[in-house]
Amino acid sequence: MLTLTSVWTTILLAAAVALGPLATDMYLPALPQIGRDFGAGTDQVQLTLSLYLAGFALAQLICGPLADRFGRKPIMIAGFVLFAVASVGCALATNIETLMLCRVLQALGGSAGPVLGRAAIRDIYTPREAAKILAILASIMALAPAVAPTIGGVLVANLGWSSIFLALGGYALVMALVVAFGIPEPMRPDYRQPLRLCSLLRNYRSIGTDLSFLGYTLTNALIYAGLFAFLSGSSFVLIDFLEVAPEHFGLFFACMVVGYVSGNLTAVRLGRTLMPDQILVRGLVIAVVGGALMAGLALAGVYNVWAVILPQTLFMVGTGMVLPQTMAGAMANFPRMAGSASALFGFGQMAVAAVAGVLVGHLHDGTSVVMAVIIATCACAALASYLLLVQRHPAPGFEPQEASAQ
């Protein structure tokens, strides 16, 4: 059993949290093929993504309080087992409706990894330390979306799309064993919360009315919605519109991941000299520039792969700087309710992202315009959220020293 502050513990937590990105990114190259096999339209196929996120969001509201009561490990293990069973159901689906149902069940189990991974980091580290560790964790996690679409494309081309879900189920079972036998329980026994409805509602009200929490959560959710808009629309734009081969899709997707990792590593490096909120605003500006550039090119009728990938890579540099800071900032005030805070944070993130995904699916016009405009809009809205909320209500320990002394 590893120690909580071990580098390997961080790596294993990252691998556990990565199940969420894997469940969306690995089957992106298969979306057009799934639509053809089931005779489903773009909006129906895209709904398998948005329903996953909606289920993911709601499930976090349950597994967070459960983890505050019973600990992080048992809830995470149970979630991984449920995810594995649902993945087999996805692989055996014979129509789009069954696939949608199994995707929701996948989400119920898969939500345990990210929400409890964030809570575990808050259990172990202080808010400022957590921001740095989350950035490192995000860099490790980025390996999943870097390779997942390529693996998914190869599996689709050689074994069919159902093999992707079987691979995801196998990964979930491995992670259940890793968490059970490799990671200690990070939650302090005296931090356990009672599992009563009135207590849950009181905790959620306390968290949800905290202006600092609201600011960081909304900023995070809007940036993540821009990312999910790309995830929802990229396969249709790149494969159907720009005629990229499914097995090559992951290579272009990897460019975006390189941008994300660069943003994470930049955040870690800047964290030695800058406060987290100073890193956050720099990342938001970069994301706005990337989103605006993609939208401008699309509206001008510039339709090629690099007019999508290069601006999205820049957007992802900013995203890589923003996400760790907002995660740590949102949970800074709630060391005794880290599971519930992480759950409510994740609910907001996934709910807003699901709306962005639905909009991409329903408004898709066969080009890159809709996806690009939604990404740019999300980036601008995230910057506005920072200026109106986060800047006025920074997390404790996130302010510059001059401000905190006043």
Q: What is the pLDDT of residue 36?
A: 87
Are 389 and 214 contacting, i.e. CB atoms less than 8 angstroms apart? Answer: yes
Are 135 and 271 contacting, i.e. CB atoms less than 8 angstroms apart? Answer: yes
pLDDT of 105-143, one tens digit each?
A: 998 888 887 777 777 777 777 766 777 777 666 656 656
Q: What is the pLDDT of residue 73?
A: 85
pLDDT of 138-186, one tens digit each?
A: 656 656 666 777 788 888 888 888 999 999 999 999 989 988 887 877 7
Amino acid identity at 156: V
Q: What is the pLDDT of residue 301?
A: 92
Q: Of 210-219, 342-351, 359-368, 394-403, give the lowest mean pLDDT range.
A: 394-403
Quickly state the pLDDT bin for 4 (edges 50, 70, 90).
low
Q: What is the pLDDT of residue 137?
A: 66
Residue with tokens 């880290």: 338
Taken in order of first residue, the domains within the chain and their CATH numbers are: 7-184+195-395 (1.20.1250.20)
Q: What is the pLDDT of residue 406?
A: 30
Better-scored residue on pLDDT, 282 or 360: 282
SS (HEC) of 347-387: HHHHHHHHHHHHHHHHHCCCCCHHHHHHHHHHHHHHHHHHH
Listed ranges 49-53, 187-191, 248-252, 335-339; the one with the highest mean pLDDT? 49-53
pLDDT at 401 over 60: no
Q: What is the pLDDT of residue 48?
A: 86
* Rounded alpha-carbon distances, angstroms, from residue 222 to 21, 260, 353: 17, 16, 7
**Interatomic CA distance for residues 261 and 189, integer angstroms:** 35
Closest CA to 60 of 351, 328, 327: 351
239-263: average pLDDT: 82
Q: Of 103-107, 251-255, 262-266, give the lowest mean pLDDT range.
A: 251-255
Better-scored residue on pLDDT, 372 or 144: 372
C-alpha 282: how far from chain center: 20
pLDDT at 405 over 60: no
Better-scored residue on pLDDT, 221 or 403: 221
Are 329 and 283 contacting, i.e. CB atoms less than 8 angstroms apart? Answer: no
**For the chain, what is the mean pLDDT?**
84
pLDDT at 302 over 80: yes
302-323: average pLDDT: 94
pLDDT of 71-94, one tens digit each?
A: 778 888 999 999 999 999 999 998
Better-scored residue on pLDDT, 384 or 60: 384
How many Å is the maximal CA-CA distance in the chain? 63
213-239: average pLDDT: 90
Q: Is 154 exposed, middle or buried (0-12, 13-18, 19+ CB in 10 A)?
A: middle
**Rg of the chain, C-alpha, whole Å:** 20
Better-scored residue on pLDDT, 325 or 398: 325
Residue with tokens 């992202």: 353
Quickly state the pLDDT bin for 221 (edges 50, 70, 90).
very high
Q: What is the pLDDT of residue 136?
A: 67
Q: Is the dihedral of CA 329, 139, 373, 355 positive or negative?
A: negative
Closest CA to 104 of 89, 92, 119: 89
Quickly state the pLDDT bin for 2 (edges 50, 70, 90).
low
Quickly state the pLDDT bin for 1 (edges 50, 70, 90).
low
Q: Of 29-43, 279-293, 371-385, give the lowest mean pLDDT range.
A: 29-43
